[in-house]
Amino acid sequence: MTKPTAIISGAGIGIGRATALAFARVGYRICVTDILETEGKQVAEEIKAGGGDAYFRKLDVTRSDQVDDVVGEIDKQYGGVDVVVANAGIAHKVPLAQMSDAKWDITVDIDLKGVFRMARAATPRMRERRKGAIVAVSSISGMSYGWAEHVHYSAAKAGVLGLVRGLAAELGGDGIRVNGVAPGFIRTAQSLSEEHSMGEARLVAQAPSIPLRRIGEPDEVADVILFLASDAARYVTGQTLLVDGGLTIKQG
């Protein structure tokens, strides 16, 4: 049986790292990609140390040439990508009065156009094979909540929802499914950042407002991504699933 291949962007830390480990555990060959070279290599080595199959490629998702080269390598060596997980993203705090075009553009370029570039590169071979799954990482800030001083992030993550729906409609006839996840409060380097997010104390303080009464962990998002990419979700496309412990359905 041919081993399936998954490419994961932003796989050096957080949700991306957890997703790489989750896919490796069920037998995928993992192309670990990240702009963070040290962290990405460590994830690939961790997978290999556990008996899995993984390798690292440094990847800046704002560079179409780099995305095309990394995906093209998979197409050539392994016959195509089976799963794309478009996870790479940034969330920098910028008050509206300080929001320059450049600060807006870099967030949209990574968080939204990065997803598009990954899908564009992988789908020609997926179409030839008439199979494939793409999972994009959005956020509750793009689906249900606004986030003050992060309007560029909220807009980009909302754009991911539309991109998921549009790609699903266009690619479904070729056997390709496209879905997304919208994480809530998850314990990642981003959410723990005092400069750009809540920091440890404020993050922990959110737990009582969540129906499950705790902050989520990266592997809990990774497991939903794995489900969406699997045959268990073979009749699911164009959907973005909230992974928020019930946060967005609570009243009062």
The residues near 63 (Cβ < 8 Å, ≥ 6 apart) are: none
Cα→Cα distances 70→63, 96, 142, Å:
11, 36, 28
- Please give, one letter per residue, the 3-state secondary structure of 51-82: CCEEEEEECCCCCHHHHHHHHHHHHHHHCCCC
Q: Are 209 and 250 in contact (CB under 8 A)?
A: yes
HSE, side-chain direction, 13 A CA sphere, residue 65: 0
Say which of 78, 145, 153, 235 is annotated catalytic: 153
The residues near 60 (Cβ < 8 Å, ≥ 6 apart) are: 35, 66
Cα→Cα distances 193→13, 100, 198, 240, Å:
14, 22, 6, 26
- Catalytic site residue 235? no
Bridge partner list, 29 = 5, 53
For the four alpha carbons of 115, 61, 218 and 176, in that order, the dihedral sign comes to positive
Provide the residue count of the chain: 252
Which residues are marked as active site?
153
